[in-house]
Chain A
Amino acid sequence: MAIRQLTVFVQNRKGTVVSVTDILAKNNINIRALSIAETEDFGILRLIVDNETAATKILEENGYLIKIINVVGVKIGDKPGALTAALNVLDKANINVEYLYAFMARTEKHAYVVLRVEDNDAVESALENAGLHLITNEDICKL
């Protein structure tokens, strides 16, 4: 059920993010969601793309360090309080979220949240039990 997230190690230097997105664009790989975590030294790009196998190959060929990480994707309503409600579910289940990022769909009245946690299965069942819908890479690509 998990979403395969592409994780890229980059230098925290001007232009490094653009060079990654540029390589993906030139190879017709579409970025559906993106988040960046950075320190003074380095940045970690987290991407959900429409073809992570091709993206990994092409980025590795360009010398980037890549890791595919399984994360959980969940659909929430595009309205105030929807994210809080979803996070409360995890809080009640005593689940610690390492990081998260959200994105919107163009057409639907929904937002999507990507969650990085230790135990994907536990999170998935907690969310499903609370009536939330999980999403996959395929779902994201169709948006």
Chain B
Amino acid sequence: MSQNYYQKEIETMPLEEMRKLQSEKLIRQVKHVYENVPYYRNLMDEKGVKPEDINGIEDLHKLPFLTKADLRDAYPYGLLAKPLDECVRIQSTSGTTGRRVVAFYTQHDVDLWEDCCARAITAVGGTKKDVCQVAYGYGLFTGGPGLNGGSHKVGCLTLPMSSGNTERQIQFMTDLNATILCCTPSYAAYIGETLKEQGYKPEDIPLKAGIFGAEPWTEEMRRGIEKTLGIKAYDIYGLTETSGPGVAFECEEQTGMHVNEDHFYAEIIDPETGEVLPEGSKGELVFTSLDKEAFPLLRYRTRDICVLSRKKCSCGRTLIKMAKPMGRTDDMLIIRGVNVFPSQIETVLLNEGYEPNYQIIVDRVKNNDTFDVNVEMTSDKFTDKVSEIIAMEKSLAGAMKTMLGINPTVHLVAPKSIARSEGKAVRVIDKRKLI
């Protein structure tokens, strides 16, 4: 069992005690929000829920959801629960889709967020003896500030590099013997490739671990990064709406992320009905901030599709684990009544040795959904025998059926034949929407 705990009592707390702690915090939090956030008070009143109806974590499902649309409507101060003069920090999303999210923090909020990041750094073996290179962007983006704060709390020598300037990253990493790297997985892969080009072998690189998040990445990518950098690569999850990275973090088992559920309570709901689903079900991830003061979102719908598990973890932590999100509700297709995510198709293709170049075409013929997947043929797989190519199509369809529960028709198509828009392949064509 691991000794890598930052707050052992919380991280290994028995479930009963954790539920008690969560209940106490939730009761207090709902009162705080009801009294200080008119926007949410209105939502609760509309639903006919009063703070006194919430007597424990088991009553959470009675509360209304918050969505990205609410954050837009309430921009910028509508969900603020503390006077501005008690706030010390603002962080914001990149705002690539729609209006940006602005989140407020009191000193208490910054502290608990940095504690969460410190738990993540400690879980990958970080101690005060480590040199932690933070190559996430600093500024409004939560990545840099979050891991920077966590690194300070652990007592690591912190290299506040921010992202970019790879030459300088490599120089600091090698001259100052950085042992932990925090950045996006794609940047980690890029740093790794650059080091390799410069002739560094994995054993010449001082790093031992990396904490990578803020964008989706595959197990394939993890193995690649671990190989080129000679490290263990760990996932971290978070979003500006809840605080930033550190809402959930991976331990040495690398089989999902422990949710810091003393601060952020996780639920999985059916994205269609809003109904809470039992542990182990796939659905939309919803977070409730149990003790943040300035920007305490209750039942915030993340739009990430995910699974939670309380299965015992070898690291000794009792914190619930979330799987790597497998897609976004925005990407979700409902075909013949089954939820299908493009990312699942991608996983099958990578497992079966294809490139992730595919297109899903859904249509409706005589009230039945048709489900076709075009996959680009690769030079490794290409053969001159028609029968073998047909067998490949059938076997791919079979693997997709196993993953999805419904049977697509797979068509192998010529390389680069799948339509691309601005360099990105168009993954889904849903013709049903045109009717």
Contact B384 A44 (CB under 8 A): yes
**How many A residues have CB within 8 A of the partner chain?**
20
Contact A42 B383 (CB under 8 A): no
B66-74, B166-174, B251-259, B414-422: which one contacts chain A?
A: B414-422
Closest to A116 in B: B384
Contacts of B390 in A (CB 8 A): 39
* Given contact pairs A44-B384, A67-B384, A10 touches B393 in the complex (Cβ within 8 A): no
- CB contacts under 8 Å to B, within A37-96, are 37-39, 41-42, 44, 46, 63-65, 67, 69
Closest to B393 in A: A41
A98–B388 alpha-carbon span in the complex (Å)? 11
Contacts of B414 in A (CB 8 A): 9-11, 42, 63-65
Contact B413 A39 (CB under 8 A): no
A37–B388 alpha-carbon span in the complex (Å)? 12
- Chain A CB within 8 A of B190 CB: no
- Chain A CB within 8 A of B377 CB: yes
Contact B411 A41 (CB under 8 A): yes
- Among candidates B382, B385, B393, B411, residue contacting A65 with C-beta atoms closer than 8 Å: B382
Contact A39 B386 (CB under 8 A): yes
Contact A98 B385 (CB under 8 A): yes
**Per-residue contact bits, chain A 87-125, to B (CB 8 Å; 1 contact, 0 not):** 000000000001100000000000000001000000000
* Given contact pairs A41-B393, A42-B389, A63-B416, A9 touches B411 in the complex (Cβ within 8 A): no
Q: How many A-B residue pairs have CB under 8 A?
A: 48
- Chain A CB within 8 A of B112 CB: no
- Chain A CB within 8 A of B379 CB: yes
- CB contacts under 8 Å to A, within B361-402, are 377-379, 382-386, 389-390, 393
Closest to A60 in B: B379
- Chain A CB within 8 A of B412 CB: yes
User: What band does the interface of chain B fall in when counting residues whose beta carbon is under 8 Å from A?
Assistant: 10 to 19
Closest to B376 in A: A65
Contacts of B389 in A (CB 8 A): 39, 42, 44
Chain A contact surface mostly: strand
A69–B383 alpha-carbon span in the complex (Å)? 9
Contact A65 B379 (CB under 8 A): yes
Contact A67 B383 (CB under 8 A): yes
**Per-residue contact bits, chain A 17-43, to B (CB 8 Å; 1 contact, 0 not):** 000000000000000000001110110
A23–B414 alpha-carbon span in the complex (Å)? 17
Contacts of A67 in B (CB 8 A): 379, 382-384
Contact B412 A41 (CB under 8 A): yes
A15–B415 alpha-carbon span in the complex (Å)? 17
- Tell me, rounded to whole Å, the shortest Cβ–Cβ distance linking A140 to chain B: 18
A44–B411 alpha-carbon span in the complex (Å)? 14
Closest to B414 in A: A11
- Tell me, rounded to whole Å, the shortest Cβ–Cβ distance linking A9 to chain B: 5
* 20 sample A-B contacts, Cβ–Cβ < 8 Å, listed by A number: A7-B384, A9-B377, A9-B382, A9-B414, A11-B413, A39-B386, A39-B389, A39-B390, A41-B393, A41-B413, A42-B377, A42-B411, A44-B389, A63-B416, A64-B414, A65-B378, A65-B379, A69-B384, A98-B385, A99-B385
Residues of B within 8 A of A (CB): 377-379, 382-386, 389-390, 393, 411-417
Starting from the known contacts A7-B384, A63-B416, 18 additional A-B residue pairs (CB-CB under 8 Å) come to A5-B384, A7-B382, A9-B377, A10-B414, A11-B413, A11-B414, A39-B390, A41-B411, A42-B389, A42-B411, A42-B413, A64-B414, A65-B379, A67-B383, A69-B384, A98-B385, A116-B384, A116-B385
Residues of A within 8 A of B (CB): 5, 7, 9-11, 37-39, 41-42, 44, 46, 63-65, 67, 69, 98-99, 116
